[in-house]
């Protein structure tokens, strides 16, 4: 234990995901010696992350503007939506270079034990993107703005790329049941070969590429 502000910093750093007490100490000591300008930039970045980050009004990805870079890219296939749990999963799939459609970020997975139900996820906006009509009245009522989508592209396929663990599988099967209401829509799930119980983030690129190209229609 150290005294004063240094220990406060170590305590705060060690609360971050993936940062243990030892790493927290190493980062804190590093920061003691860095250029004051670097500290200012870090302070500004930390301060700006709450207010400066917004979510794309179409896909709910983290975005600098109202519509994210991927949704704004007319070169991408607007007829395919890859549904992921978190914005970081988009980075992972983008790295495979295997997918040229668009995304939808749920903001998590169904997890009854943690009180995460369908209404806690970005499901109503997904349904709205696909059909323009919401099958579930209650979900429809929780939709923030029904006039968000000026031009609705025809969605041909939805790929469910939730994590290969219990919550991710439960979310995928819930969504596939919901999406049966859209008869012309192809709903697929990443192919087998994905390590079970894991997080999409930790799946290597080759495995993910294969899982995408060999995806199974549900």
Residues that bind Zn ion (CB under 5 A): 56, 58-59, 61, 68, 71
Instruction: Determine the Cα–Cα distance for residues 151 and 85; give it in Å rounded to an integer.
Output: 25
Percentages helix, strand, coil for the chain (3-state, rounded to 5) are: 45, 15, 40
Q: Cβ 76 to Zn ion, closest distance in Å?
A: 10
Q: Cβ 82 to Zn ion, closest distance in Å?
A: 12
Using the structure block, give the residue that is written with the tokens 């469910």.
160
Q: Cβ 38 to Zn ion, closest distance in Å?
A: 32
Closest CB to Zn ion among residues 12, 73: 73
Q: How does DSSP classify residue 4?
A: T
Closest CB to Zn ion among residues 9, 80: 80
The order of strands in the sheet holding 186-189 is 101-105, 77-84, 157-160, 186-189, 216-217
Residue 10, Ramachandran bin (φ over 0: left; ψ between -120 and 50: alpha; else beta): alpha
- 208 Cβ contact list (under 8 Å, min separation 6): 92, 93, 96, 98, 190, 194, 200
Closest CB to Zn ion among residues 71, 84: 71
Closest CB to Zn ion among residues 56, 84: 56
Closest CB to Zn ion among residues 58, 194: 58
Collapsing DSSP to helix, strand or coil, 41 comes out as helix
Q: Closest by alpha carbon to 57, among 8, 128, 142? A: 128
Q: Cβ 112 to Zn ion, closest distance in Å?
A: 28
Q: Cβ 31 to Zn ion, closest distance in Å?
A: 35
């Amino acid at each position: 234990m150290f005294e004063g502000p240094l220990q406060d910093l170590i305590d705060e750093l060690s609360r971050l995901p993936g940062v243990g007490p030892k790493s927290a100490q190493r980062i804190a000591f590093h920061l003691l010696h860095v250029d004051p300008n670097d500290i200012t930039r870090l302070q500004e970045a930390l301060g700006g992350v709450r207010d400066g980050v917004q979510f794309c009004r179409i896909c709910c990805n983290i975005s600098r503007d109202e519509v994210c870079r991927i949704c704004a890219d007319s070169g991408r296939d607007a007829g395919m939506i890859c549904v992921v749990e978190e914005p970081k999963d988009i980075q992972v799939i983008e790295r495979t270079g295997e997918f040229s459609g668009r995304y939808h970020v749920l903001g998590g997975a169904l997890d009854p034990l943690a009180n995460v139900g369908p209404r806690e996820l970005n499901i109503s906006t997904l349904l709205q993107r696909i059909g323009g009509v919401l099958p579930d009245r209650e979900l429809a009522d929780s939709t923030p703005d029904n006039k968000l989508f000026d031009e609705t592209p025809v969605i041909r396929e939805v790929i469910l790329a939730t994590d290969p663990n219990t919550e991710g599988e439960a979310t995928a099967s819930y969504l596939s049941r919901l999406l049966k209401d859209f008869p012309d829509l192809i709903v697929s799930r990443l192919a087998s070969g994905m390590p079970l119980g894991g997080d999409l983030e930790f799946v290597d690129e080759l495995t993910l590429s294969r899982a995408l190209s060999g995806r199974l229609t549900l």
